[in-house]
Amino acid sequence: MITSVLCAFATGRMQELSDAVLSGAADAIQLVISMAGMMCLWTGLMKIADSGGITAMLARVFSPVLKHLFPAYAPESPAMKAVCMNITANLLGLGNAATPMGIAAMKEMAKKTPTPGVADNSMVMFVVINTASIQLLPTMTGILRARYGSPSPFDVVPAVWVTSLVALLFGVTMAKLLQRRGGSRYG
């Protein structure tokens, strides 16, 4: 904000700047109001899917893949179950559910870790997966595009999937490659 004031001073755009302050604050509230409807609809629908047990079903589908990413845990261990649930919730875009499950997963991993206070290989892998967006339907972005009059706001979804997948594979590969530097003491 201070940069803006200095820059406007230098370029003589003070009038535009003071207009921007007024319109910016109003625009933010308009944005929140125009998003609220879609957000409610969406979280409501996801709650139905969640109550129907879709999270547990998808978690079963993913466990064969996750076995390779987290070799330190048995498929039925509490840590592995929490990891599965967190990843499924992320896929469905259940942000409010994914974070507590993720923290539960980290706590389970922390109980078993050979190196307290230092992230072991499974923890790094888990957090790297969580820093990549694997959400199937980017709701917020879609809502925002619709607001600016895009005729089909979700037409970017195939491109988002390809990009997410490339980035996720890259992140997982990087995590696997870099973990070798620490030797075997990190599990």
Partner 1 sequence: MDKIGVYLVPCIIALILLFGFFRKVPLFDTFLDGAKEGLRSTVSIAPALVGLITAVTMLKASGALDLFTAAVRPLAQALGLPPEVVPLTLLRPVSGSGSMALLNGIFADCGPDSFAGRVAAVMMGSTETTFYAIAVYFGAVGIKKTRHTIPAALSADLVSFLTSALAVRLFFRM
Shorter beta-carbon distance to partner 1: residue 46 or 59: 46
- Among the listed residues 56, 81, 85, 186, the single contact to partner 1 using CB under 8 A: 186
Establish if 61 lies at the interface with partner 1 (CB under 8 A).
no
By C-alpha distance, which of 140, 133, 141, 62 is closest to 98? 133
- Tell me which residues in 72-91 interact with partner 1 (CB under 8 A): none
Phi, psi of 30 (to 5 degrees): -60, -40
**Least Å from the CB of residue 143 to partner 1:** 10
Q: How far is the CB of 74 from partner 1 (least distance, A)?
A: 20
Query: Of the candidates 131, 135, 169, which has an alpha carbon nearest to the alpha carbon of residue 154?
Result: 135
- Please pick, from the candidates 76, 117, 184, 185, the single residue that binds partner 1 as defined by CB under 8 A: 117
Specify the amino acid at residue 22.
L
- When the beta carbons of 75 and 100 are compared against partner 1, the nearer one is 100
Place of tokens 């921007």: 20
Contacts with 73 (C-beta within 8 Å, 6 or more apart), sequence order: 79, 80, 83, 109, 112, 122
Count of residues making up the chain: 187
The contact pattern for partner 1, residues 5-44, with x = CB under 8 A and - = no contact, is x-xx--x-x--xx-xxx-xxx-xxx-xx--xx--xxxxxx
User: Minimal distance in Å, beta carbon 69 to partner 1?
Assistant: 13
User: CB under 8 A: which stretch of 63-71, 72-80, 109-117 binds partner 1?
Assistant: 109-117
Q: What is the DSSP letter of 25?
A: H
User: Which tokens go with 60?
Assistant: 């079963």
For the segment 118-157, give every residue that binds partner 1 (CB under 8 A): 118-119, 123-124, 126-128, 130-133, 135, 137-138, 140-142, 144-145, 147-157
184 binds partner 1 (CB under 8 A): no
Contact 173, 161 (CB under 8 A): no
Find out whether 5 and 17 touch, Cβ atoms under 8 Å. yes
Of 74 and 118, which CB lies nearer to partner 1 in the complex structure?
118
Count of residues near partner 1 by CB under 8 A: 97
Is residue 96 a contact residue for partner 1 (CB under 8 A)?
Answer: yes
Give the distance, in angstroms, between the CA of residue 130 and the centroid of all CA atoms in the same chain.
6
